[in-house]
Structure 1
Amino acid sequence: MGKQWYTISVYSENHVGLLNRISGIFLKRHINIESLNVSKSEIEGVSKFTIVVFTTEDWTRKIVGQIEKQIEVIKAYYHTDDETIYQESALFKIASHLLFDERQIQNIIKESNAQIVTVNRDFFALAKTGRRHEIDEMHDALLPYGIMQFVRSGRIAVTKAAMPISEILQEFQEN
């Protein structure tokens, strides 16, 4: 089976060093983490790691199995892009004169459904939320005009189907 994008969701207790151990699992298999986000989850006291990788399902299944062996990990899942609803965010810093001198910049902002966050004498900042390819397209469109700074967030995702994590977490809280 070929490589594709997988979103791995890891529910865990919030302990120092867990991120290092999880990233070591990927390092040992020479699999690059394309995106990483850690936040609180829907259950108090439980963190959610959202990890994006481009690999085979076999490798993803093995990685999830290794992640679940970590003591602090409650449960880990993996899903394809078709099984998730996901977004990323990006900020672009561009020279201010381009906003007024280059008509195409205004078209790029409008076509990309981006928002101007701030404007001052030297620069303006744009915010774009969407799928990775949408942010990449906006980046490629702005690149010829000069991007002073660029940053992209990690993926945030929820699954389309119900996940049994709520029941598992409820049991976790009761113990």
Structure 2
Amino acid sequence: MRISRKTVPTLRPETLRAKAIAAGRLRQNLQITIFALDANLPAAELAEFLQGQLAQLSLDSQVDATGPERVRAALAGRFNNADVLVVVGDDSAEAEPALMDLVQWLLLNGRTTLAENLVYVQLGSRASSSPAPVFERIILPKNFAQQTQQSGRRLPWAASSHESWELANAVLDYATGLSAE
């Protein structure tokens, strides 16, 4: 598990490219599972979005979406080969307790590595009174995909100017072992 950063460093295209190259050397095909804590969250859209970003980085990857039923996801094998687990929640009061419940379930069911390689994506705004979680937390607007499509930004040239590249950066940190810092 990675302690969340209070200040996010500026993402640079060359940094993301270097991480993608390192991840490609470590893993022939990076497996990422996106797990939605609620059925109303856009896990499939986020998976497609992240898959597109990793493809722009020329990283061979597979991004699958599942949730919110963790037992069904486990029986379908969604957690078996995942290198990184991205959990999608929102800014509701139920989201972080649901996240912790999922983490406890992962630990109790022998998926410790997956619990340690977890990135939490919160759609919406950060509540000012909520404590920082022990996981890497990425805040994205609820309409993240539409904003990116409308902006016309593409990696690598605009990576430092768009908050949505923080997720790809965090996934690459876990994929390359940089999350242990």
Taking CA–CA contacts closer than 8 Å with sequence separation of 6 or more, which of the two structures ends up with the larger relative contact order? 2
From the two aligned structures, give the one with the greater strand fraction: 1
Fold conserved between structures, TM > 0.5: no
From the two aligned structures, give the one with the greater helix fraction: 2
What range describes the TM-score normalised by the shorter chain of this pair? under 0.3
Q: TM-score, normalised by structure 2?
A: 0.24
